[in-house]
Structure 1
């Protein structure tokens, strides 16, 4: 059995404004249907695969859990990184989790890539696992079909019938170099997917990245189980170097193997990549969502908001992407540089840099409908059986109006049940809680009033999601 290790902690800033730190691309609805994370989980829910180990960030643990529940999937472990330290510490953590089964083969896969041919993917994985059982670390190399400059490359030489041997790792090349690599014919794109035995990986870390072992072991030993998650200790884990598995281990190995893979793969790392997998019209323009193109050439138009109509007229080689609170307009040649937009917005203090109007929480979500001096109107959705923390506010009072579903409301010592079209008032300073005792989602409108309306004006007295301890 192959045990998948699904890495789901990235922030995906190059796909702003659809992907942001608070809800990155692996969980977003970039393509019609399931998220990339859900597609990744589904891809390894097949004969020959054990339950996956999922590694994600503190901000995404409940999102990952919810999306797995939606697809009726389970995992062997859901590990929470207190902060991202790149892929090497994550891979080492996965190997240490399974150290009691040294001959087990692990498959490390990112959760934000697109693969259209799952059958071929599984066939190549089975072949790669046989190579990994011989004690080699195996990476999957994508056969290039154009001189891409956004990927690392692997130079491969003749091996045996099972795999090619990697003779060189190359960083992202310029276009001329990428063209020469394509013509040379013995280069593959580095997909960031790996297979290895547990003991093989641990020996490789001991030989080439021993400084990561102590902090990672300490993070696991000082961490613990929490609401079905395996939480790593923050103080210990932050001592790990911020380094990729390629740089820490792979590039230092004397021998490592690669299997070529052709399976409709894309890392979806830029808006250009999204355009490449779309269905262009006769003028090589792709539209998605609530968007219309008129006499546009070589462009991508995408609107995420059904209430925001995006219309392009006479555009050439332009990317235009709209959400309900952000619009990106850029030349296609700048596709790889969209991350600079996020850096600029952060410097400006713009909330759109990292967050959306809709903010997801363990119990559901809220979104701001209107914000003005001394007032804010929010829409709140609480999942069936979920409850917010028992809390109070120093600077604001609140009115709640139930739109649909049922709400159990606690205000100081008063507990009551509200149904559709009923409301209640939460005075400033009152200790209160909102719960959904029903079997359907609870939707309500919250009207806040006061001199300060920030999300940090919360005093928590009890929280079933343990956020007070985290803070």
Structure 2
């Protein structure tokens, strides 16, 4: 396992640190720690530490062997079906900190980590993305708005405002590096996600129903799947394509309504970009209530 080490310019608590054994271009690692406090970071830099750039090099067999050891899966299909149940942990924590033999390659060029809100705003060409307004009393303020409602900022300094379907963040720029432990405490329905086939946005959640806007990219489809504990009603808003329900194929267009009973196998295939409203109905609506099936198409 080889890491890319960045020559640090200041003691930051935002990055992991690598202490090489030697000053050579490629060296074995003496110590690796993920995101220490600033005092410890300064001590590491005094010992010749490098920032962990988050770039790893390894043979494919290495990471496959590690994955099988940590995840205990049999094949790709088994891993794919259990993916949502896996423990959420970074490669740094799960693998790098426990690896006994690591090398690091020094990098001396220009480098910037956009992994925090503060560093992201430094790279933004415009202080406002989306529907936002700020008055002339604002100083060093950035707005990132993914909602269809306006955001107004007045008299603020060194602040980031981010609004998305999953939540709203208002933070001092320096404090924005420390949001993770607070966000990790949130346990809520995912309101927006981008997938390989398109995206979905949750519009409404009630006790026994959930309404979702689904957008499929041209030529893409959902997995062929079923649900045991909920019914669904699809209404096509725009685009054309076809549905397959228990093996029966039907063309769909704007205004088409498809009723899906619990237990039926179903998918939708987009010819053009296809937008539909999906209403889920049932007493047990959850992401776990989904069984996937192969589809010969």
- Please give the TM-score of this superposition, normalised by the length of structure 1: 0.48
Displacement, 1:274?
Answer: 1.6
For 1:171-200, what per-residue CA distance to the aligned partner results, in whole angstroms no more than 9, with x for missing partners?
A: 644435545766x5944222243446x5xx
Displacement, 1:327?
Answer: 0.4
Aligned to 1:417: 251
1:249 paired to 2:90: no
Displacement, 1:319?
Answer: 2.5
CA 156–445 in structure 1, closer or farther in 2 if over 3 Å, else same:
closer
Rounded Cα–Cα distance in structure 1 between residues aligned with 2:143 and 2:69: 47
CA RMSD of aligned residues (A): 4.5
Displacement, 1:345?
Answer: 1.8
CA 325–170 in structure 1, closer or farther in 2 if over 3 Å, else same:
closer
- Alpha-carbon contact 1:393-1:457 (below 8 Å) kept: no
Rounded Cα–Cα distance in structure 2 between residues aligned with 1:425 and 1:363: 20
Aligned to 1:319: 160
Q: Which segments of 5 or more consecutive residues in structure 2 lack a partner in the other structure?
A: 88-92
Aligned to 1:302: 144
> Secondary structure of 2:157's partner?
coil
Aligned to 2:106: 259
Alignment of 1:259-278 (within 5 A): 259-266=106-113, 268-278=114-124
Rounded Cα–Cα distance in structure 2 between residues aligned with 1:399 and 1:215: 38
> Secondary structure of 1:380's partner?
strand
Displacement, 1:328?
Answer: 0.8
Rounded Cα–Cα distance in structure 1 between residues aligned with 2:288 and 2:35: 45
> Secondary structure of 2:185's partner?
helix
Q: Tell me which protein shows more strand as a share of its residues.
A: 2
> Secondary structure of 1:276's partner?
helix
For 1:423-461, what per-residue CA distance to the aligned partner results, in whole angstroms no more than 9, with x for missing partners?
A: 2352645735243263x232223345x453714595758
1:435 paired to 2:290: no
> Secondary structure of 1:340's partner?
helix
- Alpha-carbon contact 2:209-2:285 (below 8 Å) kept: no
Q: Tell me which protein shows more helix as a share of its residues.
A: 1
CA 413–447 in structure 1, closer or farther in 2 if over 3 Å, else same:
same
Name the count of aligned residue pairs: 287
- Please give the TM-score of this superposition, normalised by the length of structure 2: 0.71
Rounded Cα–Cα distance in structure 2 between residues aligned with 1:413 and 1:158: 64
CA 296–394 in structure 1, closer or farther in 2 if over 3 Å, else same:
same
Alignment of 1:209-228 (within 5 A): 216=68, 223-226=74-77
- Alpha-carbon contact 1:219-1:232 (below 8 Å) kept: no
Displacement, 1:269?
Answer: 2.8
